[in-house]
Amino acid sequence: MRVKEGNKEIDIIEAAVKVFAKYGYHNSKISKIAETANVATGSVYVYYKNKEDILLKIFSDLWTKLYDELDLIVSNTSLSSIEKLDAMIDLIFDVFSEEPSLALVFVNEQNHLEQSNKKGFTNYYEKFLDRGEEIIKKGIDEGLISENIDLTIFRNFVFGAIRHLVHCWARDPKTFTINKTRMNVKLFIKHGIAK
């Protein structure tokens, strides 16, 4: 018998995140991912069915993690709805601030998967948004949030805004300080910009 050395499965994913971030999914070669992971080209196919399967894994890991953390926030009874909303925003920025490459992949490639309509990741992504929506609903019930808003529109409004800002930050961390960005986002969402 022979035993696996290290964990190539993880090495490949980490390499893929870097390579996808740098070149974009379609311009990334499997051979480059393999090289980055210190692994032979063929090994990639031992662990993943094909190129898209790698992207799928990246996203399902990401959304699983985000969902689980959001779940903790939503079920935390000691927070008000507004505080939960803030915590959700912090969560997203925190997850990406540790990994700029992942942020780039997240922003640039999510649409691909939505187009090829792979479930398994769409599930978690939708569930995440649904869970976030619960916060808003509760806030409306409690009279903290305006009842004139369309929830579906709102959640996509926020999602799009944050996604783009994460992108800006990942491309140019100097201009977009994470902290200033997240503070502004919280302000915009709660109070808008009008005086």
2 binds, among its own copies, DNA, none (CB under 5 to 8 A by kind): DNA
119 binds, among its own copies, DNA, none (CB under 5 to 8 A by kind): none
Instruction: Work out how close the CB of 142 gets to its own copies at its nearest, in angstroms, rounded to a whole number.
Output: 10
195 binds its own copies (CB under 8 A): yes
Which 3 state secondary structure label does DSSP give 59? helix
2 binds DNA (CB under 7 A): yes
Decide if 12 contacts 33 (C-beta within 8 A). yes
x/- binding map, residues 3-42, to its own copies, per CB under 8 A?
Answer: ---------------------x-x----------------
Helices 81-97 + 122-141 axis angle, to 10: 150
129: which 2 tokens? 């948004």
25: which 2 tokens? 């999914």
191 binds DNA (CB under 7 A): no
Kindly state the DSSP code that residue 176 receives in the 8-state scheme: S
Q: Over the range 90-124, which residues count as b (16 or more CB within 10 Å of their CB) and which as e?
A: bbbbebbbebebbbbbbbebbeebeeeebeebbeb
Please select the residue that binds its own copies; options are 167, 173, 174, 178, rule is CB under 8 A.
167
Please select the residue that binds its own copies; options are 79, 82, 95, 129, rule is CB under 8 A.
82
Instruction: Work out how close the CB of 20 gets to DNA at its nearest, in angstroms, rounded to a whole number.
Output: 11
115 binds DNA (CB under 7 A): no
Please list every residue from 8 through 47 that binds DNA, using CB under 7 A.
8, 27-31, 39-43, 45-46
Count of other CB atoms within 10 angstroms of residue 23: 12
Question: Can you tell me the distance from the alpha carbon of 193 to that of 160, in angstroms, rounded to the nearest whole number?
Answer: 18
Q: Which residues bind to DNA, rule: CB under 7 A?
A: 1-6, 8, 27-31, 39-43, 45-46, 50-52
